[in-house]
A and B are shown apart, each in its own frame.
Chain A
Amino acid sequence: MSSKYGGYMGKFLDIDLSTGDVREYEVSDRLREEYLGSKGLAARILYDTVPRGADPLGPENVLIVNTGPLVGSGAPCTSRFNVSTKSPLTGGVLSSNCGGNFGMFLKRAGLDGILLRGKASSPTWIRIEDGQVELEDASELWGLDTEQTQEKLPKDTGKMVIGPGGEHAVRYACIISQERAAGRGGAGAVMGSKNVKAITAKGKAKVPVANPEKFQADVKKWIHILKSHPATGEMMPAFGTAAFVNRCNETNTLPTHNFKRGSFEQADAISGETLADTLLTSNFGCTSCVIKCGRRVTVDGKDVKGPEFETLGLLGPNIENADLAKICEWNYKADLMGIDTISLGNTLGFAMELTEKGLMDSPLQFGRTEGISQLIEDIAYRRGLGDDLAEGVRVMSEKYGGKDFAMHAKGMEFASYEPRGAVGHGLGYAISNRGGCHIAGGYMIYLEANGPLTMDPLTTHAKPQLTALMQILLDALSDAGSCQFTAFTAVPKQALALQPSGLLYRILAKSLEAFGPAISVMLRYPQALAIVPPMDLLQHPKAISDLTGMKLTFGKYIMVGQRTYLIERMFNLREGITGAQDTLPRRSLEELQTSDPRSRVPLAKMLPAYYRVRGLDRCGEPTRETLDRLGVRA
């Protein structure tokens, strides 16, 4: 269904792989106003198309690949696409976001998104060109790694592919596009279960712009903001996300020895600084990116993508490894195989502790790197020990025990932030709809440990409300099609000049603890926030408004983020994932990380306030009042 708004191509295709039928999936402008696109819109469509109890790896599951309005518009850092499905790792809703250029190519092909149903009868490559779909035979691609697969596909296309991990239904198999990943939650396994090896897109369509002059001015300003900000314009290009290794280490939030500790004596050996000094050959960015946070390194004489912070943390300190070259090698291997490095590192750490405690018989040992590269391949092909590890920590803990230190929430393994050093971040892991995710959980680590303005990381004051607000803003940003890293300018450079170690920040840091009630009121009555913030404060609503022609006030932007969480939560509830699953393993809840009696996650203290600010009842279910107020239809 076409759109009156700019930013949208007005076409969403519904592809039945069982029959070969291709038809249009109707997306109304009302849905676009309510969810913008990407994660939120896909969650709505998932709710409407996936029957309760569908096997994530069965034909009833649906795989959605879609974009937000900013993608392909020329706005900086907007070359993203979203993959949504029912996760084989958690059994609940999954949204997995990816950089690279596929999102842009999908829009050039004239599409806002595609929806895959059923299952192809044989390995298939979905070829999309100028809005037309062909289902090509992929039997010669099946079995290839992700790099080989992409090399065999037409060069002038955007591509997303799976590797052996997706073909063998590894629960955390990912989708690779160029060298970026839709990493978490097993979307690669779902794609493999449908016998889809690859999707390519190309075309000549242009993204319509409602107010070209205003939008161009917004883009120019936004690029200037990103380039001139110290975080996005200097530090991220130089050190990438890897710079967080040392910051987390200093603040006891770097997972070490399967999240037993929060710091690692040899952390600097695998840090962003050491990477820059030793193995880094250059940085790179996705198409349209001005930050260019990507790392390039050399592995076996080949120029490849280097590791991100998550990979460094979980394949480094979490398994007591200080060999940076090994992490680069494993990162490349995992990408070739098409498996998520976060779940991989977390699962390895768990398996090592199981072995250490005599609960599992394996050659794995903390600090021992021999055999890991082969094991990554064995996981992808589900061979021997790899078959166990391919299941992830939740299933492994059901088989071997060790639930107390199986570091997951809802079945998704924690990201590389130890939550007992930042308790709001722990809350985020617990209430994230897709499981133990740092982003979907609100990325509170930035406000508690790693950002220029930080609160006491171990206080619970205002953390529930701030978690909700951070989640909402990040969800809305994602729905628009923007890269999350554009949010690092939220503390403007002008504010940084007021000295993060100075009195003003000291007052702000303490004041944040009292913000809880104000945030609650704001989120209860977002319509009152009827202005579109200027670009200097928050770039996304204005850019989206001028691109689309929607008047996206700050209040409406917040409501987009609120609806995204709610519809995801409703999907989960329908699948039997209730408030009882808003929890963390015993290691996070009861084991003290240090001698500080506050160094564990007091989840029971924060959860009720979180439910209230989200408009959920005491069991974590959306109230009728909340659903009606936000116009979310069950």
Chain B
Amino acid sequence: MPTVKFFATLRQVAGAREIQLEADNVRDLLDRLSTSYEGRMDRYLKISTVLVNGKNVVHMKGKKTKLKPDDEVSIFPPLGGG
């Protein structure tokens, strides 16, 4: 089952650093997260970057990117650094 890793404010919303979630592809995973968290995560999911094994999904097949059981999906809202 893919591992979903939450970062920044998503951790507070999720109440966890990571969870396991069954999903065929990234779109499916995001939909399941929306349902699991009863819409509380939607605001952040909409504006977040999604990485699969460290690679931004926009460099793969976007939300159609298929997921394998040992994949790690990392979700980051917009951040700033220095």
- List the interface of chain A (C-beta within 8 A of B): 229-232, 234-236, 238-239, 241, 243-244, 246-248, 250-252, 268, 272-273, 291, 293, 308-310, 445-446, 450-452, 454, 456, 484-485, 488, 491, 493, 496-497, 499-503, 505-506, 509
Q: What residues on B are CB-neighbors of A236 within 8 Å?
A: 79-80
How many residues on B have C-beta within 8 angstroms of the other chain's C-beta atoms? 29
When chains A and B are docked, how far (Å) is the Cα of A445 from the Cα of B79? 13
* 15 A–B contacts from the bound complex (CB under 8 Å): A235-B9, A235-B77, A239-B8, A241-B82, A243-B80, A243-B81, A273-B8, A293-B82, A309-B81, A450-B81, A454-B49, A496-B46, A501-B26, A503-B63, A505-B62
In the complex, residue of chain B having the shortest beta-carbon distance to the beta carbon of A453:
B58
Main secondary structure of the interface of A (DSSP, over half): helix
Question: Which residue of B26, B56, B57, B80 is within 8 Å of A241 (Cβ)?
Answer: B80
A273 lies within 8 A of B81 (CB): no
Q: A454-B56, A497-B47, A501-B30 are in contact. Are A234 and B9 (CB under 8 A)?
A: yes
Min Cβ gap A214→B in Å is 28
B59 lies within 8 A of A231 (CB): no
Q: What residues on A are CB-neighbors of B79 within 8 Å?
A: 231, 235-236, 239, 243-244, 247, 450
Q: What residues on A are CB-neighbors of B54 within 8 Å?
A: 250-252
When chains A and B are docked, how far (Å) is the Cα of A162 from the Cα of B41? 47
Q: What residues on A are CB-neighbors of B76 within 8 Å?
A: 246-247, 250
Min Cβ gap A555→B in Å is 28
A506 lies within 8 A of B62 (CB): yes
Asked if B3 is at the interface of the complex by the 8 Å CB criterion, the answer is no
Number of A-B contacts (CB under 8 A): 116
The 7 residue pairs across chains A and B that have the minimum distance between CB atoms: A244-B81, A241-B82, A231-B78, A496-B47, A501-B50, A506-B58, A243-B79
Q: A241-B81, A310-B82 are in contact. Are A235 and B8 (CB under 8 A)?
A: yes
Q: What residues on B are CB-neighbors of A493 within 8 Å?
A: 47
A509 lies within 8 A of B82 (CB): no
In the complex, residue of chain B having the shortest beta-carbon distance to the beta carbon of A246:
B7
When chains A and B are docked, how far (Å) is the Cα of A229 from the Cα of B76? 15
Q: A234-B9, A250-B51 are in contact. Are A501 and B57 (CB under 8 A)?
A: yes
Question: Which residue of B9, B57, B58, B78 is within 8 Å of A496 (Cβ)?
Answer: B78
A251 lies within 8 A of B48 (CB): no
Q: A243-B7, A273-B11, A501-B62 are in contact. Are A308 and B77 (CB under 8 A)?
A: no
B80 lies within 8 A of A272 (CB): no
B30 lies within 8 A of A509 (CB): no
When chains A and B are docked, how far (Å) is the Cα of A506 from the Cα of B46? 15
Asked if B17 is at the interface of the complex by the 8 Å CB criterion, the answer is yes
Q: What residues on B are CB-neighbors of A231 within 8 Å?
A: 78-80
Q: What residues on B are CB-neighbors of A503 within 8 Å?
A: 62-63
Q: What residues on B are CB-neighbors of A445 within 8 Å?
A: 81
Q: What residues on B are CB-neighbors of A273 within 8 Å?
A: 7-8, 11, 17
When chains A and B are docked, how far (Å) is the Cα of A518 from the Cα of B76? 31
Task: Beyond A293-B80, A500-B48, A501-B57, list 17 extra A-B contacts (CB 8 Å).
Answer: A230-B77, A236-B79, A236-B80, A243-B81, A244-B82, A246-B7, A250-B76, A252-B54, A272-B8, A273-B11, A488-B78, A488-B80, A491-B78, A499-B47, A500-B78, A501-B50, A501-B62
Residues 1-12 of B, flagged 1 when their CB comes within 8 A of A and 0 if not, give 000010111010
A247 lies within 8 A of B78 (CB): no
Q: What residues on A are CB-neighbors of B80 within 8 Å?
A: 231-232, 235-236, 241, 243-244, 291, 293, 485, 488
When chains A and B are docked, how far (Å) is the Cα of A239 from the Cα of B76? 13
Q: What residues on A are CB-neighbors of B8 within 8 Å?
A: 235, 238-239, 243, 272-273
Min Cβ gap A141→B in Å is 30
In the complex, residue of chain B having the shortest beta-carbon distance to the beta carbon of A253:
B54
CB neighbors of A among B33-82 (8 A): 46-51, 54, 56-59, 62-63, 74, 76-82
A250 lies within 8 A of B74 (CB): yes
Q: What residues on A are CB-neighbors of B5 within 8 Å?
A: 250
When chains A and B are docked, how far (Å) is the Cα of A47 from the Cα of B56? 43
B82 lies within 8 A of A238 (CB): no
A500 lies within 8 A of B81 (CB): no
Q: What residues on B are CB-neighbors of A491 within 8 Å?
A: 78
When chains A and B are docked, how far (Å) is the Cα of A252 from the Cα of B79? 17
When chains A and B are docked, how far (Å) is the Cα of A268 from the Cα of B11? 12
Q: What residues on A are CB-neighbors of B56 within 8 Å?
A: 454, 509
Min Cβ gap B75→A in Å is 9
When chains A and B are docked, how far (Å) is the Cα of A175 from the Cα of B15? 41
In the complex, residue of chain B having the shortest beta-carbon distance to the beta carbon of A499:
B46
Q: What residues on A are CB-neighbors of B78 within 8 Å?
A: 229-231, 235, 451-452, 488, 491, 496, 500
When chains A and B are docked, how far (Å) is the Cα of A446 from the Cα of B47? 16
In the complex, residue of chain B having the shortest beta-carbon distance to the beta carbon of A244:
B81
B59 lies within 8 A of A456 (CB): yes
When chains A and B are docked, how far (Å) is the Cα of A250 from the Cα of B7? 11
Question: Which residue of A452, A502, A509 is within 8 Å of B63 (Cβ)?
Answer: A502
When chains A and B are docked, how far (Å) is the Cα of A502 from the Cα of B7? 19
Min Cβ gap A11→B in Å is 32
When chains A and B are docked, how far (Å) is the Cα of A248 from the Cα of B79? 11
Q: What residues on A are CB-neighbors of B26 within 8 Å?
A: 501
When chains A and B are docked, how far (Å) is the Cα of A493 from the Cα of B9? 17
B63 lies within 8 A of A501 (CB): yes
Max count, chain A CB within 10 A of own CB: residue among B30, B62, B63, B80: B80
Q: What residues on A are CB-neighbors of B51 within 8 Å?
A: 250-251
A500 lies within 8 A of B58 (CB): yes
When chains A and B are docked, how far (Å) is the Cα of A450 from the Cα of B56? 10
In the complex, residue of chain A having the shortest beta-carbon distance to the beta carbon of B81:
A244
Min Cβ gap A207→B in Å is 26
B62 lies within 8 A of A502 (CB): yes
Min Cβ gap A426→B in Å is 17
In the complex, residue of chain A having the shortest beta-carbon distance to the beta carbon of B47:
A496
When chains A and B are docked, how far (Å) is the Cα of A231 from the Cα of B78? 5
In the complex, residue of chain B having the shortest beta-carbon distance to the beta carbon of A421:
B54
